[in-house]
Amino acid sequence: MDGEAVTVNMGAIEVVTDGRNLKTILGSCVGVIFRDKDRQVSGLAHIMLPERRRSDGVEGKYADTAIPALLSRLEASGCRIGALEALLIGGAQMFASENTTIGTIGDQNVDAVRRILDQLKIPIIYEDTGGRAGRTVVFESSSGKVTVKTLQVADANVPPD
């Protein structure tokens, strides 16, 4: 892989313009990667929840605030919003006890991001979402290659003594 990697933590947003890679680890969170391949500008938001419900200043935490914030940073770095392509990764069901009648938080995150991208008319060119396992992600901004590794799911049912 070319370039140094920038790690994007939970609730964070990062933009690269110099060929560095973006990397993160996702569970029920969703990673949204935007790329303007002609201008070599890429960014990643590590989204934890579908929407802001109270006055929390961490804009990267929520789909409804992280995506506009990331787009603003990308545009300030020289990308053309109309040329962006999106990659959508994560949204796993990490906890067996989640209420499935309203969907898991992972499903809610994926749905919120899809809805926002659809409204903005930004095409999703790659998607790896759902399941029960976390993922590690490395996005090579210079080539557009994404490497997603699914983490092993351990069976938590330990037999009694």
CATH for 5-150 is 3.30.1330.200
Distance CA 72, CA 77 (A): 9
Sheet holding 135-139, edge to edge: 5-7, 21-26, 135-139, 146-150
Lowest mean per-residue pLDDT among 24-33, 43-52, 63-72, 88-97 = 88-97
Mean pLDDT of the 125-154 span: 92
pLDDT of 100 > 80? The answer is no
72 against 100, higher pLDDT? 72
Mean pLDDT of the 23-47 span: 95
pLDDT of 1 > 50? The answer is no
Residue 152 gets which letter from DSSP? P
Per the annotation, the verdict on 29 as an active-site residue is yes
Mean pLDDT of the 58-70 span: 93
Phi, psi of 110 (to 5 degrees): -60, -45
Active-site residue among 29, 48, 92, 94? 29
22 against 55, higher pLDDT? 22
Q: What is the mean pLDDT of the chain?
A: 89
Q: Nearest Cα to 49, choosing from 111, 6, 1?
A: 111
